[in-house]
């Protein structure tokens, strides 16, 4: 993890990919920009992966997009190898959260509809 909380990983081409977590307001902005295209799962998933990439070998990616044209342009800057590295980070983070939940003292899933 870098000093700003981002994660740095190596992609299939051997490049250092800096990956950020997308939080509430950024996800909300992406959803509004994408509009009806947000329902296209393949496009949305691949674009979200690209949005997570902050830099490639120390070269910053463009700032967070403000419109669909800038979103599309991100596909020209962040290739599939860099996007795949971002997906791997997201999967690792998700697995870690899931493991933390399973190992916590919090009440586990209930067998009744009311949760009690």
Q: What is the 3-state secondary structure (H, E, C) of 73-105?
A: HHHHHCCHHHHHHHHHHHHHHHHHHHHHHHCCC
Please tell me the distance from the alpha carbon of residue 78 to that of residue 60, in angstroms, as a whole number. 10
Q: For residue 110, is it within any domain? A: no
Print the domain residue range for 60: 7-92
Task: Encode pLDDT of 68-110 as tens digits.
Answer: 899 999 999 999 999 999 999 988 877 766 665 677 776 666 5
Q: For residue 14, is it within any domain? A: yes
Q: For residue 53, is it within any domain? A: yes
The answer to whether the CB of 19 falls within 8 A of the CB of 6 is yes
Residue with tokens 């700032």: 63
Q: For residue 47, is it within any domain? A: yes
- pTM for this structure? 0.76
How many domains does one find in the chain? 1
List residues bridging with 17 in a β-sheet: 9, 56
For 46, other C-beta atoms within 10 Å of its C-beta total: 17
Q: What is the pLDDT of residue 36?
A: 78
Task: Encode pLDDT of 5-29 as tens digits.
Answer: 899 999 999 999 999 998 888 888 8
Please tell me the distance from the alpha carbon of residue 112 to that of residue 98, in angstroms, as a whole number. 22
Q: For residue 2, is it within any domain? A: no
Report the sign of the C-alpha dihedral through residues 52, 56, 57, 58, in that order.
negative
Percent over 70 (pLDDT), the chain: 78
């Amino acid at each position: 993890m870098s000093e700003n909380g981002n994660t740095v990983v190596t992609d299939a081409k051997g490049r250092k990919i800096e990956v950020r977590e997308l939080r509430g307001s950024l996800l909300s902005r992406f959803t509004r920009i994408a509009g009806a295209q947000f329902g296209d799962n393949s496009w949305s998933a691949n674009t979200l992966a690209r949005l997570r990439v902050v830099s490639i070998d120390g070269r910053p990616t463009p700032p967070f997009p403000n419109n669909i044209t800038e979103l599309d342009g991100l596909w020209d800057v962040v290739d599939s190898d860099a996007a795949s590295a971002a997906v791997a980070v997201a999967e690792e983070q998700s697995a870690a959260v899931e493991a933390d939940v399973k190992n916590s003292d919090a009440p586990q899933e209930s067998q009744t509809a009311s949760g009690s």
